[in-house]
Every structure is written in structure tokens, then in C-alpha cells.
Amino acid sequence: MARRYALRGIALGYLVLVLLGPLSMVFWRVYAEGIDKAWVAITDPDTIHAFRLTLLVTAIAVPLNTVFGIVCGLAIVRRRFPGKGLVNAFVDLPLALSPVVVGLSLFLLYGRTGWFGPWLQQHGVQILFATPSIVLVTMFVSVPFVVREVVPTLRELGDTEEQAARTLGANGLQTFFRITLPAIRWAVIYGVILTTARCLGEYGAVAVVSGSIQGKTETATLRVQEEYENLNMAGAYGIALVLAAIGLVVLALMLRFRPKEESA
């Protein structure tokens, strides 16, 4: 019995010291620094623009990665094609790779001396230090989530129902929308939630490519960093509080939609 309480104590103590303790501080700091000052920072036009930009980028990246995730998941599970191992590896890469490296890669690809840089400059297309680059890096870092949720579900599902639909004369699209998609919809939803969380919270990759221009290319997470560097702690914690609140909503959604086999 003593051993059991000791282990419980260690586990809970660890969680409190590393996760819950720090998190509860965000509320305390906002209160201590002054709620009115935090409110000023949150309602600052540049902050509002930053949140708008973050939402816009998320609204573009999430649907694209959802469609890609489903198509790619289907290809990985149902088809055989040359280079499948490579595709698998590249899908997982963003999970193991530093977001800064992702940002730098795009920086080098679209920068002045990059492969596409000169051509883009001639045609007056601005990618770096503008919204397109933020969208591109965000897409990069959030590629794996839908794929990784869809693949195991498709595997478990098998393809007997799909074959049955085909033999009854359904075409590819009908089979997909009537049979496959309904069967994997929870996995897709869970993947979308994870993708959204990642898009909203991305910092490192965006920091490299966006240039952090206030009121233009500054996202919500960059705004936190900016306020911190300007020693406006009330502002930094205020905006962090908004982001943390969004994070808690996301966490609640994750719990609601978590696939059964993963829950305890």
C-alpha cells in the first residue's frame, strides 16, 4: 500500500510541478500585473490583427491538410506504389523535425538567393515576410496529424465493405462518400483538432519566415514574444492567457473525440 501511495505521489507531484503549477501561474500573473493593463494589450489593434492572421492561416492550412490527410491515408493503406516508404517517412518528418529548420528551409527556397527567389522577385510575388510563407510553414508542420489518425482506422476497417459497394455498382466517389468517409469520420475529426491546435500555436517556423512585422505578419504567438521583449509583462501574459484558454478548449475537444482505443 505504501508503495502505491508513493508512486501516486510521485506521478501527481511531477504533473503539478511541471504542468499544472506553471499553467495556473498564467492566471495569477495576469491578475498580479493588472487585468486592465492586460486588457489594453489584448485589445490593441496589432494584437487583434495578430489573432486575425493566426485564424486566417489556420483556416487555410487545416482544410488543405485535412483533404491531403484523407487522400494520403487512403493511398498509404489501400494502394501499392513505388516510393511508398519515402512518402511515409516524409509524412512523419514534421513530427521529429525542429520547426525552426522548417522555417529556414522555406526561407532558403523562397529567399532572394533561393531557388525560386529570383523568379518570384521578377514577377513581383512576395512570399517571404508575407502571409503566404506563414501559411506554407504552418501547412508543413501540421501535415502529419490527419494522416496519422486516418491510417490506423483505415487499416482496422479493412476494405470488404468498399468492395461490396463496388460490386453493387457504386463508383469510386460514391464508395468514398457513402462507405469510407462515414467510417473514418471520428478519426478525421480528431486529426483536425490536433492539426488546428498545432496551427494556432506554431511559433518557431513562423518566427523564421514571417519577419514579425507588427500589424502585418505578426501572429498571436509572435505577439507574445514581442510583448515579452518590450518588457510589457501584463501584455505578454494577457495574450498568453487568451491562447491558453483556446488551448483548454482544444483539450476539451480532444477528450470528447479521442478514439476509444487510445483512452484509458
Partner 1 sequence: MTYLGVVVALPIAALVWSSRSGGVSGSFWDAITNPEAVAALKLTLAVAALAALTNAVLGTVTAWVLVRDDFRGKALVNAVIDLPFALPTIVAGLVVLALYGPYSPIGVHLAFTRAAIWLALLFVTLPFVVRTVQPVLLELDTEMEEAARSLGASERTVFFRIVFPSILPGILSGVTMAFARAVGEIGAVTIISGNQPYRTEVASVFILNRSQAGDPGGAAAVAVVLLAISFVVLLAVGALRHRATRYERG
Segment 106 to 145, residues that bind partner 1, using CB under 8 A: 106-109, 111, 113-115, 136, 139-140, 143
Between residue 71 and residue 100, which ones bind partner 1 under the rule CB under 8 A? 72, 75, 87, 89-100
Minimum CB separation of residue 217 from partner 1 in Å reads 14
213 scored as a contact of partner 1 (CB under 8 A): no
Judged by CB under 8 A, which of 134, 154, 187, 200 binds partner 1? 200
Q: Are 218 and 226 in contact (CB under 8 A)?
A: yes
Judged by CB under 8 A, which of 44, 149, 162, 202 binds partner 1? 202
152 scored as a contact of partner 1 (CB under 8 A): no
244 scored as a contact of partner 1 (CB under 8 A): yes
Minimum CB separation of residue 261 from partner 1 in Å reads 7
Residue closest to 156 by CA, chosen among 68, 77, 262: 77
Q: Are 155 and 74 in contact (CB under 8 A)?
A: no
**C-alpha–C-alpha distance, residues 147 and 145, integer Å:** 6
**C-alpha–C-alpha distance, residues 244 and 28, integer Å:** 13
How far is residue 176 from each of residues 26, 42, 192, measured CA to CA in Å?
A: 45, 44, 19
Number of residues written out for the chain: 264
Helices (H), the chain: 2-15, 21-33, 35-42, 45-78, 84-96, 99-110, 117-122, 131-141, 144-157, 160-167, 172-175, 181-201, 204-210, 220-229, 233-257
42 scored as a contact of partner 1 (CB under 8 A): no
Q: What is the DSSP letter of 1?
A: -
**C-alpha–C-alpha distance, residues 192 and 70, integer Å:** 11
Please say which residue, 183 or 225, places its beta carbon nearer to partner 1.
225
Please say which residue, 18 or 164, places its beta carbon nearer to partner 1.
18
68 scored as a contact of partner 1 (CB under 8 A): yes
By CB under 8 A, which span of 37-45, 104-112, 156-164, 178-186 interacts with partner 1? 104-112
Please say which residue, 45 or 83, places its beta carbon nearer to partner 1.
83
Please say which residue, 105 or 214, places its beta carbon nearer to partner 1.
105
170 scored as a contact of partner 1 (CB under 8 A): no
197 scored as a contact of partner 1 (CB under 8 A): yes
Minimum CB separation of residue 205 from partner 1 in Å reads 9
**C-alpha–C-alpha distance, residues 88 and 240, integer Å:** 35
Q: Are 145 and 194 in contact (CB under 8 A)?
A: yes
Judged by CB under 8 A, which of 11, 35, 125, 213 binds partner 1? 11
